[in-house]
Structure 1
């Protein structure tokens, strides 16, 4: 039940639990006492009328019709209706299935999203709108529905729960409390919103974004510290990446890096950022070093599913490191050791805790990190004495079958809910607004709303008709991020396919602009930034877009002989240090830009 004046959930005065209207007793009751909760309608409680959250949701979206969506997306309204009907039909509302003696909801339909939806202003609202479809048909955490990352793990061997993790329940609303992306530790956003101080402690401004796991505001704060009263960094240690190329326009980032007093980098290649680095530390690649838990809990490398076992991986050197380059554990171990006993003890203590090492396998705080001993300790802590470094050297991978309740957390007797109406967003808004007023800093809170909707990005609507193209990027099968072209085998594939290193444009759009495959074109964004590349005409791209693979290529480092000049750095078109381009709830960076296209040759 929702208070129409405040938009807040009506709560029991003694327990603070959310109140539902119970059709059985014709009265408002806490969620965990309600036998027959009303989904729709308006009900009187203590002389005041309250509507259900679902009733408000219906009102909220009534004008968001397929015709409305067609104007935004160019997807025909008839297609949208067809997909909606098919999705609702195949979801089999009300169906159940028996697995190993337990009854589960059966919803063989799911909507999932990733970065294509989330790398935009208002990303939280768009992402939420998509995932809400799973809630509407009951497909969240259902058999055949959307499971997401593994929610529960009893440990990697019977009798040893050291590697395990589990869901919890937020009692005020009965919501499931999950785990952080990694390393499988509890992560309670509801508790953070309720109890956090909201005072920023660093340039990520993370305390003002209780739903965020990304620190993207650091880019704005570094380039414009007066805006938020932050202290810019003077030195930087970058590791295994190419920061000049991963965040908007390169020239903007060059200015930021040029103003730093001291920069240390670590990578397997001397990339673009190396030119702005005072000291470079060479690193062994993954085939030349030890690595521990490369799939580490819930990240992208841990697939799920009832018939997919838990897979505990191990990396070890298969060839000697070139020029005896150290691995990352050697590097960090040496750095903190040279920093002194206090630093070393803090570092080793953090590793012992982060990797949940059992007391008998914990690393000594007064000794330098020994990578092989560390790897051995982790696997013995998580499995047993037998399954240490020597066992993994021989076998490589350890597996354990998953149990049903590690995959499907909701049988007919299990508690737990997923929020449909985000009352906690309003609580966060109230506290964030109070804090930024106290700090006298600018902050956007318009997206702190209880129900999702669509809102346009900064450059979605044209301010100049000449800028009529949306540049986008994607990843194909053989490439991963910005380092792929330096691999000679991958580069050969990229060069031979005639597409990967080019700019793709729709056939009809190219004809209208008198362009053809093989033309060299220049894209210019509304910010005045440009990129150039060879055009490929295709039916596989939307008429309003041009696309490239990966989007952060075109390395200019003379030390990357294979990758140099390959591909198009389309991200260069995006202003990267503008606060207005950031989602103020989850720090998503708005990559929607408009560009004009002109033929060079």
Structure 2
């Protein structure tokens, strides 16, 4: 980031905490937690309605902005083809979207179509956004009106809408402005709207996967995968059609139904995942769980590369795991989950093992003018005797239990190995490396032996320009109007009503236009006048790195990592001095202890906790209770979760006092 600034880039960080990124930026703008969506919608409003700094050509050609919408908030469709209609300004009539040239697609106006009044989705969007003026949003966010206008105008002008650049002889759109959202906006009850809003700012200026713009993970590898287009003209990612790497696609909406899994994914038809629900369902008594259609208990719980004992609320999760009859844990260290497990099996450390496909390439391969890189992690040291990759242990268990053929069959299906030279034999037991080798050869034409022979962890291939910057080349449109949310809502409402959970499962987020709503903790409550926020730090990853003495040593050199940042004015109001031992008590009755760090680098309404401190394991020689644990302040609370995608609201009201 510092290098980019030296080259002339301007960086603005909007965050309640002055993070390292904010410290390296041109400007840090502290914002009240949970109000990112309001600010983002204000930016949309200014760019479209006031500054007119949006990419109209992109809206017409690559979004559903021109799609005609009727009084029911759904697309007006062609009676013969059922395709969404666009008003063709050249023909003076509505025609199916695929028959209208982008330049002739109307973004504004009202038309009589199929006997109803119809308006382009973009017109409805522009009108809806007018309520989010800087004067309305400023008191919500605490960001001054002049600052909102200035930063938004700078962003829109920097995008240079309409400009092009020539790379390798190919002329491409040039949009040197990007909005990146991090974990903060996703950690709220209305996070689905927030993420689509903030990332959607990039669509407003037309910068998706083009030079200067936001470069996502690679949607186009000519040899194997690419984006396709559905009957309504929308882009379908290669995740659902090729990779199946775990997360679901948000579009198209899936059929809502009575849940079959503890993740309640069947009640989240547009979510990419809903894993945060499972700890809560696990903690519920069986009679309460049945209200969600879950009429079974978890008999066997297997975990690896995670620490489920400390999810959301460590104390409540500990009790929840007692409901499991058998808990198998693959461990590289003694942590909270290992101490609770019935059986602990050693798992090789990443420095000790082969991981031919350590990460899904579609998700971890970035767009941009660099080579393709296919990563193969090779061991640096040998594991202790008897220790192996957890996948090899699971393969052995499948073999002993008699369902190894099912494992091989599913592996062939998910990795598209059927009818190829690399197809696995169903009755043969392979090692994990052998199974991954089949995929490497099938997808990229290189084997594990190639990496070993060349003593490398990376195989590279050149990209062509369509792969490097696929934005103008891949088919399909993007959503700025979420008609499919509206369309799936009646079916979801029926399932929710049939289950009788309307009182705890709201569906008001399924609206076609992004809308800001306050978090449950937006207003102070009964003396709980502050927000407890949580932020990431570079020296720690999740919970497992808190037992590494080298990382702890780094952390102790920065007072804002293990201490509790409190604004100078807030500390003075509460009579707290730097270095004081304090209690942070949440509105839900939980409290954690910490050491005050008085600073100007935090929003005055907040106190901070970093990473995943406060480890509770007694088996760790280092890191135990090294800093406050934010999860402990929340508890298992369904009312704080976004029912669209299971995000837990990070807005927690607390009060502080000396210990």
Q: Is TM (by shorter chain) over 0.5?
A: yes
Task: Say which of 114, 118, 128 aligns to 2:182.
Answer: 114
C-alpha distance in structure 2 between counterparts of 1:370 and 1:100, whole Å: 43
**1:581-596 counterparts in 2 under 5 A?**
581-596=640-655
**1:500-519 counterparts in 2 under 5 A?**
500-519=561-580
Q: Secondary structure at the match of 2:86?
A: strand
Contact 2:69–2:121 (8 Å) recurs in 1: no
Cα distance, 1:327 vs structure 2: 1.4
**1:236-255 counterparts in 2 under 5 A?**
236-247=301-312, 249-255=313-319
C-alpha distance in structure 1 between counterparts of 2:546 and 2:280, whole Å: 30
When normalised by structure 1's length, the TM-score is 0.91
Matched, 1:559 2:619: yes
Map of 2:215 onto structure 1: 147
**1:494-533 counterparts in 2 under 5 A?**
494-533=555-594
Map of 1:459 onto structure 2: 521
Identify if the C-alpha distance between structure 1 residues 387 and 225 changes in structure 2 by more than 3 Å, giving closer, same or farther: closer
Task: Say which of 249, 259, 264 aligns to 1:205.
Answer: 264
C-alpha distance in structure 1 between counterparts of 2:479 and 2:622, whole Å: 50
Matched, 1:274 2:338: yes
> Mean alpha-carbon deviation: is it higher for 530-539 or for 49-58?
49-58
Cα distance, 1:569 vs structure 2: 0.8
Identify if the C-alpha distance between structure 1 residues 219 and 297 changes in structure 2 by more than 3 Å, giving closer, same or farther: same
Cα distance, 1:500 vs structure 2: 1.8
Cα distance, 1:185 vs structure 2: 4.7
Q: Secondary structure at the match of 2:361?
A: coil
Cα distance, 1:87 vs structure 2: 1.2
Contact 2:227–2:474 (8 Å) recurs in 1: no
C-alpha distance in structure 1 between counterparts of 2:578 and 2:159, whole Å: 44
Identify if the C-alpha distance between structure 1 residues 479 and 322 changes in structure 2 by more than 3 Å, giving closer, same or farther: same
Deviations 1:437-475 (A, max 9, x none): 3333333110000010211122222232x1111111122
Deviations 1:240-286 (A, max 9, x none): 22112232x22211221123222111110110122221111111101
C-alpha distance in structure 1 between counterparts of 2:586 and 2:453, whole Å: 51
C-alpha distance in structure 2 between counterparts of 1:201 and 1:320, whole Å: 41
C-alpha distance in structure 1 between counterparts of 2:258 and 2:617, whole Å: 41
Contact 1:554–1:568 (8 Å) recurs in 2: yes
Contact 2:376–2:451 (8 Å) recurs in 1: no
**1:328-347 counterparts in 2 under 5 A?**
328-340=390-402, 343-347=403-407
Map of 1:20 onto structure 2: 86
Consecutive unaligned residues in structure 1, runs of 5 or more: 155-160
Cα distance, 1:365 vs structure 2: 2.3
Map of 1:158 onto structure 2: none
Matched, 1:235 2:275: no
C-alpha distance in structure 1 between counterparts of 2:335 and 2:267, whole Å: 34
Q: Secondary structure at the match of 1:594?
A: strand
Matched, 1:11 2:71: no
Task: Say which of 386, 389, 402 aligns to 2:463.
Answer: 402
Map of 1:288 onto structure 2: 352
Map of 1:157 onto structure 2: none
C-alpha distance in structure 1 between counterparts of 2:657 and 2:260, whole Å: 46
Matched, 1:88 2:168: no
Q: Secondary structure at the match of 1:315?
A: coil
Deviations 1:404-432 (A, max 9, x none): 11132243x76421112111111110211
Map of 1:598 onto structure 2: 657
Identify if the C-alpha distance between structure 1 residues 386 and 191 changes in structure 2 by more than 3 Å, giving closer, same or farther: closer
Matched, 1:476 2:543: no
Identify if the C-alpha distance between structure 1 residues 428 and 225 changes in structure 2 by more than 3 Å, giving closer, same or farther: same
Q: Secondary structure at the match of 1:360?
A: coil
Q: Displaced runs of 4+ in structure 1, greater than 4 A? A: 1-4, 185-192
Q: Secondary structure at the match of 2:551?
A: helix
Matched, 1:579 2:579: no
Map of 1:447 onto structure 2: 509
Matched, 1:184 2:184: no
Identify if the C-alpha distance between structure 1 residues 189 and 509 changes in structure 2 by more than 3 Å, giving closer, same or farther: closer
How many residues align? The count is 580
Q: Secondary structure at the match of 1:263?
A: strand
Identify if the C-alpha distance between structure 1 residues 377 and 386 changes in structure 2 by more than 3 Å, giving closer, same or farther: closer
Identify if the C-alpha distance between structure 1 residues 597 and 317 changes in structure 2 by more than 3 Å, giving closer, same or farther: same
Task: Say which of 262, 269, 281 aligns to 2:326.
Answer: 262
Q: Secondary structure at the match of 2:652?
A: coil
Matched, 1:302 2:362: no
> Mean alpha-carbon deviation: is it higher for 523-532 or for 33-42?
33-42
Map of 2:45 onto structure 1: none
Map of 2:630 onto structure 1: 570
C-alpha distance in structure 1 between counterparts of 2:429 and 2:114, whole Å: 67
Matched, 1:432 2:492: yes
> Mean alpha-carbon deviation: is it higher for 391-400 or for 269-278?
391-400
Consecutive unaligned residues in structure 2, runs of 5 or more: 1-66
Matched, 1:543 2:604: yes
Map of 1:315 onto structure 2: 377
Map of 1:420 onto structure 2: 480
C-alpha distance in structure 1 between counterparts of 2:128 and 2:253, whole Å: 28
Contact 1:209–1:584 (8 Å) recurs in 2: yes
Map of 1:99 onto structure 2: 167
Cα distance, 1:363 vs structure 2: 3.2
Map of 2:278 onto structure 1: 218
Cα distance, 1:565 vs structure 2: 2.2
Identify if the C-alpha distance between structure 1 residues 77 and 479 changes in structure 2 by more than 3 Å, giving closer, same or farther: same
Cα distance, 1:201 vs structure 2: 2.2
Identify if the C-alpha distance between structure 1 residues 438 and 392 changes in structure 2 by more than 3 Å, giving closer, same or farther: farther
> Mean alpha-carbon deviation: is it higher for 476-485 or for 402-411?
402-411
> Mean alpha-carbon deviation: is it higher for 101-110 or for 515-524?
101-110
Deviations 1:139-181 (A, max 9, x none): 2233322232111112xxxxxx3xx210000222x11111339
C-alpha distance in structure 2 between counterparts of 1:12 and 1:298, whole Å: 36
> Mean alpha-carbon deviation: is it higher for 358-367 or for 5-14?
358-367
Identify if the C-alpha distance between structure 1 residues 368 and 48 changes in structure 2 by more than 3 Å, giving closer, same or farther: closer
Deviations 1:480-514 (A, max 9, x none): 11111211211221223333221111122112212
Matched, 1:381 2:446: no
